[in-house]
Structure 1
């Protein structure tokens, strides 16, 4: 089968959707599917995508990049007239069109082109159809526009692929017959020597190091994590990522007088990201809402346990496997958990021992690719 993926971008600095779009393409190739990927790109960003594009090409993915249209909001809304024209001209040559995310023109164009060519169309909304996302729109008109566009998508899609039960429930799609729940692919099981945390037979009693990796966005609750670390003496916090809130977060660290225990590392990717996840003792994802929790599963691949809030999509998987702990997103609750793990290294050591096997069993490229193929074959009949 020949599958056309359409994404609004591949820049990993924009969040998990770009990372997931790449992994889904690789998983589809693992299932023996022929894959093309379309995306718009800014000229200044294009050099940063070199390693990603090379990885995709090495896997046999045909990558096609198009410039954004030349006006102010084109990048924000994923608008590329050249990509749009290419879609309408070539959609008929594919068996299935697969779009990523909702509130971008690339996905609207993909659905319209698929319908015009009488081809099945699949969407991975990446949280954008959830009530959390829609109801947190920046204005009432935008909120209503999202609800209307949600209905437009639901009427036209052959399949909606969500990443967790949480995402299906919050999107009001748990009983919708065209909904499929498939966890994101994270672990490449063909790697002959997967990068993993080096763990000895006994717990490590050096200072407990907690990591945070992601955008500095209010829903990530990084400020709560900083307050929790302040109330957990001796615990260190390494923060990787960036965003507009950085100055405010640095000021919070200074007010709590924990500059000596908190490090801001900036944006990291590739091997630097893998090394970060391997060397921390625990990754914290205390988010207000995450439909999946991609960074948590990436930590598991490296053999590192996680601390999650209950409203992270993979929380149930982690609780069942014992590869982490689920804590309400409150500074006092997180602080208690950190102090407990700092004093009870045997528990932390046991969770780390289960992390990699959890990732291998639930989030491999092969497992995701096999499920994708089933979906495509179903809608293509």
Structure 2
């Protein structure tokens, strides 16, 4: 151990696979003068490409995922499926026991065998074990009520295993407190993106040129849906609300792929708005700043959405977002900009009213763009890193009894 590293906190982050949202956070954490970071990836999905089951198409992110920090690929002996044994990385035992880590940050959920391997190894190595969730409700995505009651019984015990619980939003923090987790054991680490990158990329965009590429006329407005075309994202609600709002000189753009695409295209024809809709399919990361910049409003009508970092991305590009009250980011990112940017999930009539109201006053909508950008600058990766450091220190102190 060198003089430069002996006073640093040795931290291992355990992640299921490389993700475009987490890579910038890992880079910043690795660059912090008080941290020596290593990331253990339990699969290389995302970096190597492959079929995303929810997009229903091949996904390989076109931005660097593995640069700027130390990482290791821990072999997965599991099936790779979305099941308990799908992620099973016994190599973590030796990595944790022999790594002399002060803390282990686990970003793999408790529904995978790997979580329990990491937890047991951390306990034996006397390393602080930190983990969390992004859920803001006990209600599951599939709507099965029995799961909600099981969580109510089991979650207090599970999250009680953490030496410190890390949560990305105010809604998740309140959920943990409602389960009886002590306030001092919960740290809010704001779910952030690389704000500087998104703001800089958006500044490079020639808005009129990008609008022209999509065939938008100078006087036309544009609304964006940017998510997987899955039932819980409720893209059909937006399509119906758009038709009900009767917005002339406005286009509705769907960026994303999924099993609902054919139905949405058929519904657009049935509703008489096919000429006002565009389906772009999967849009990779590098093309998103231009997309956010060319539209006037993004809408996320999800019935289940723990956070939604697309909200962060859009706001960094100066695009206001209208989202349902089931989107985790709504409370922290949208309500402070304007209460009108949040509507009841599943209420097509209210959504139609909000759309009509937004485009009745284009000047006010433009004003929301600047407010959105100003607010997202306060929800930054710098805040995330500082909060993560505090969580690590709290976890270490708890393990060492100081």
TM-score in terms of structure 1 length:
0.83
Tell me how far apart the structure 2 counterparts of residues 253 and 292 of structure 1 sit (CA, whole Å).
Answer: 28
Give yes or no for the alignment of 1:380 onto 2:401: no
Tell me how far apart the structure 2 counterparts of residues 199 and 49 of structure 1 sit (CA, whole Å).
Answer: 26
| 2:300 counterpart residue number | 285
Contact 2:78 2:86 in 1 (8 A): no
| 1:4 counterpart residue number | 12
- TM-fit CA distance, 1:291: 2.8
Where do residues 225-244 of structure 1 align in structure 2 (5 Å cutoff)?
A: 225-233=238-246, 234=248, 235-244=250-259
Tell me how far apart the structure 2 counterparts of residues 258 and 265 of structure 1 sit (CA, whole Å).
Answer: 16
The equivalent position to 2:125 in structure 1, one of 92, 107, 117, is: 117
| 1:65 counterpart residue number | 73
Tell me how far apart the structure 1 counterparts of residues 121 and 22 of structure 2 sit (CA, whole Å).
Answer: 20
Q: RMSD of the alignment, in Å?
A: 3.1
| 2:52 counterpart residue number | none
- TM-fit CA distance, 1:163: 1.6
Contact 1:167 1:292 in 2 (8 A): no
| 1:34 counterpart residue number | 36
Give yes or no for the alignment of 1:268 onto 2:288: no
Q: Per the alignment, do residues 367 and 280 of structure 1 end up closer, same or farther by CA in structure 2, a change over 3 Å counting?
A: same
The equivalent position to 2:319 in structure 1, one of 304, 312, 319, is: 304
- TM-fit CA distance, 1:126: 2.5
- TM-fit CA distance, 1:304: 0.5
| 2:236 counterpart residue number | 223
Give yes or no for the alignment of 1:371 onto 2:381: no
Q: Per the alignment, do residues 148 and 35 of structure 1 end up closer, same or farther by CA in structure 2, a change over 3 Å counting?
A: farther
Give yes or no for the alignment of 1:56 onto 2:30: no
Q: Secondary structure at the match of 2:341?
A: strand
Q: Secondary structure at the match of 1:263?
A: strand
Measured against aligned partners, the alpha-carbon deviations of 1:9-56 in whole angstroms (never above 9, x if no partner) come to 23xxxxxxx44433432342353322222223367971465755x443
Tell me how far apart the structure 2 counterparts of residues 349 and 331 of structure 1 sit (CA, whole Å).
Answer: 24
Tell me how far apart the structure 1 counterparts of residues 188 and 46 of structure 2 sit (CA, whole Å).
Answer: 36
- TM-fit CA distance, 1:345: 0.2
**Which range moved further: 19-28 or 227-236?**
19-28
- TM-fit CA distance, 1:194: 4.7
Higher helix residue share: 1
Q: Per the alignment, do residues 250 and 361 of structure 1 end up closer, same or farther by CA in structure 2, a change over 3 Å counting?
A: same
Give yes or no for the alignment of 1:245 onto 2:245: no
Contact 2:155 2:179 in 1 (8 A): no
Measured against aligned partners, the alpha-carbon deviations of 1:69-111 in whole angstroms (never above 9, x if no partner) come to 363x645547344xx2221002132211111252233323222
| 1:187 counterpart residue number | 194
Q: Per the alignment, do residues 191 and 227 of structure 1 end up closer, same or farther by CA in structure 2, a change over 3 Å counting?
A: closer
Aligned length: 361
Tell me how far apart the structure 2 counterparts of residues 249 and 228 of structure 1 sit (CA, whole Å).
Answer: 13
Measured against aligned partners, the alpha-carbon deviations of 1:217-245 in whole angstroms (never above 9, x if no partner) come to 32212111110111122232111112222
Q: Per the alignment, do residues 131 and 355 of structure 1 end up closer, same or farther by CA in structure 2, a change over 3 Å counting?
A: same
TM-score in terms of structure 2 length:
0.79
Tell me how far apart the structure 2 counterparts of residues 88 and 98 of structure 1 sit (CA, whole Å).
Answer: 14
| 1:89 counterpart residue number | 94
Query: Structure 1, unaligned stretches of length 5 or more?
Result: 11-17
Measured against aligned partners, the alpha-carbon deviations of 1:200-229 in whole angstroms (never above 9, x if no partner) come to 9xxx97222111111223221211111011
The equivalent position to 1:176 in structure 2, one of 182, 185, 190, is: 182
Query: Structure 2, unaligned stretches of length 5 or more?
Result: 1-8, 50-58, 209-216, 398-402
- TM-fit CA distance, 1:114: 1.2
Q: Per the alignment, do residues 208 and 108 of structure 1 end up closer, same or farther by CA in structure 2, a change over 3 Å counting?
A: farther
Contact 1:229 1:236 in 2 (8 A): no
Contact 1:160 1:180 in 2 (8 A): yes
Tell me how far apart the structure 1 counterparts of residues 363 and 26 of structure 2 sit (CA, whole Å).
Answer: 39
- TM-fit CA distance, 1:165: 1.9
Measured against aligned partners, the alpha-carbon deviations of 1:348-378 in whole angstroms (never above 9, x if no partner) come to 110011222211112x221111111111122
| 2:165 counterpart residue number | 160
The equivalent position to 1:341 in structure 2, one of 358, 377, 399, is: 358
Q: Per the alignment, do residues 46 and 296 of structure 1 end up closer, same or farther by CA in structure 2, a change over 3 Å counting?
A: same
- TM-fit CA distance, 1:65: 2.5
- TM-fit CA distance, 1:143: 6.1
| 1:350 counterpart residue number | 367
Q: Per the alignment, do residues 42 and 347 of structure 1 end up closer, same or farther by CA in structure 2, a change over 3 Å counting?
A: same
